[in-house]
């Protein structure tokens, strides 16, 4: 059975289209790898992992070291329990309050985390890694 010229052209067109799709996928993949290399995505991922671990460690330091000192200074009052009551609890409605102690505790944790990460970067001289040499 001999293929018609029209069928042969259709087969060639399908092969060309398939090759173009394959080339598009390959260039898209290499573009992604280029993006990962040029934008420092791996370094960002490592930094995120280290930052998450540092944040967890600082939270323990705040909860187990700083908060007890604050509780000692405030005569045993837990920061997280401090609040301004706007509306007292009634039978019809729950209490409406601003938990300023929890906010203060969160700010202390944030500042302690930033301080620890700054110190780690400064001590390990990680701030010099990204600077380009002149």
Query: How do the domains of the chain map onto residue ranges?
Result: 1-39, 50-134
Strands (E) located in 1-134: 84-87, 96-98
Query: What is the average per-residue pLDDT within 39-49?
Result: 82
Q: Among 25-34, 76-85, 103-112, 125-134, where is mean pLDDT lowest? A: 125-134
Tell me the pLDDT band of 24, cut-offs 50, 70 and 90: low
Q: What is the pLDDT of residue 80?
A: 82
Query: What local confidence, expressed as pLDDT, does residue 128 receive?
Result: 67
pLDDT at 83: 93
Apex 80 CA angle, 78 and 86, nearest 5: 115
Q: How far is CA 48 from the centre of its chain?
A: 6
Q: pLDDT above 70 covers what percent of the chain?
A: 82
Distances (CA, A) of 77 to 42, 60, 64, 66: 44, 19, 15, 13
What is the average per-residue pLDDT within 70-82?
Answer: 81
Query: With bands split at pLDDT 50, 70 and 90, how would you rate the model's confidence at 29?
Result: low
Q: Alpha-carbon distance 20 to 119, whole Å?
A: 52
Thinking of the domain 50-134, which architecture would CATH place it in? Answer: Orthogonal Bundle (1.10)
Residue 34 has pLDDT above 60, yes or no: yes
Cα 47 from chain centroid? 9
Residue 134 pLDDT grade (very low, low, confident, very high; cuts 50, 70, 90): very low
Whole-model pTM: value is 0.50
């Amino acid at each position: 059975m001999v293929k018609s010229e029209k069928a042969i052209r259709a087969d060639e067109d399908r092969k060309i289209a398939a090759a173009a799709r394959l080339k598009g996928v390959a260039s898209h993949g290499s573009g992604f790898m280029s993006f990962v290399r040029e934008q420092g995505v791996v370094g960002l991922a490592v930094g995120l992992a280290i930052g998450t671990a540092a944040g967890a460690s600082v939270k323990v330091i705040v909860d187990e070291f700083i908060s007890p000192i604050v509780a000692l200074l405030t005569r045993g009052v837990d920061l997280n329990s401090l609040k301004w009551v706007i509306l007292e609890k009634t039978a019809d409605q729950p209490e409406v309050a601003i938990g300023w102690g929890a906010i203060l505790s969160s700010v202390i944790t944030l500042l302690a985390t930033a301080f620890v990460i700054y110190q780690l970067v400064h001590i390990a001289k990680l701030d010099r890694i990204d600077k380009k040499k002149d």
